[in-house]
Amino acid sequence: MTSPLTQADIDREIAEVHTARGGAAADHPDRDFAPYRSSVLRHPKQPLVALKDPEAAELTGPVFGVADVSPFDSDLTRQHLGEPLGERITVQGRVLDRDGRPVRGQLVEIWQANASGRYLHQRDDHPAPLDPNFTGVGRCLTDEEGRYTFTTIKPGAYPWRNHVNAWRPAHIHFSVFGTAFTQRLVTQMYFPNDPLFPYDPVLNSVTDERARQRLVCAYDHGLSVPEWTLGYRWDIVLDGPAATWMEEGR
């Protein structure tokens, strides 16, 4: 019988991969990063299949329109009759291209755990309380400056079954669409000085230290709203040497 993986096992594997890479830059994390066990099981193992009619994917795939996005969708604290529990935060940033120019009118979506570290999802059976006043999803369109803004609750850390005593740092999932559904990019935003950073194989699948730091937001006191929210700023750069690392290749 195989012994359960411990944090020490995962730490050793992460160190080996990072040492082998030497902090070298890459376009995106490995899809089969061994310390992140489920990535090994689900990453593509066959060559990509070329589409004979690329437009067919757009004609038959999901669509969205400007009229579908409500101004209230970006405030996750006002989506229910009562107020959610936890620390209110404002998260704001800009979506930029490689030259620092704003990317306007882009659909930005977020989803996250509640303040107790639990998702409103049938597969999340973590024994932490659900919050009846917090669904954990929001969206908005970037403005003329490429800016997005969300009001939400700071998510809690939560356990996952990658190995014994595995915990994910607090994070918010971000999705950015281009001009078509197939241009969707997905990433995660983390919070400063989280003690779980060294132990998390998801974050450490990004082997470039500078790129990992670009996934961490910054506290912005000027963005904090008096007696209401603490402010965090995080820009998303879509391409180039300062690009935000995504869960899929560009």
Alpha-carbon dihedral angle through residues 204, 209, 210, 215, given to the nearest 10 degrees: 20
Catalytic position from the list 163, 168, 199, 232: 168
Catalytic position from the list 36, 88, 171, 199: 171
Say whether 173 is catalytic. Answer: yes
Say whether 158 is catalytic. Answer: yes
Catalytic position from the list 173, 190, 199, 232: 173
CA distance 160 to 199: 12
Say whether 232 is catalytic. Answer: no
Say whether 139 is catalytic. Answer: no
List the one residue out of 108, 137, 112, 87 whose CA is nearest residue 235.
108
Angle at 208 between CA 207 and CA 213, to 5 degrees: 110
* Structure tokens, 51: 């589409």
Distance of CA 181 to the CA centre of its chain: 18
Say whether 12 is catalytic. Answer: no
Cβ count near 179 (within 10 Å): 9
Catalytic position from the list 158, 190, 199, 232: 158
CA distance 250 to 178: 11
Helices (H), the chain: 7-21, 37-42, 54-60, 209-213
CB 238 within 8 A of CB 176: yes
CA distance 114 to 77: 11
Cβ count near 168 (within 10 Å): 23
φ, ψ for residue 98 (rounded to 5)?
Answer: -65, -20
Catalytic position from the list 36, 119, 199, 232: 119
- Residues with a known catalytic role: 119, 158, 168, 171, 173
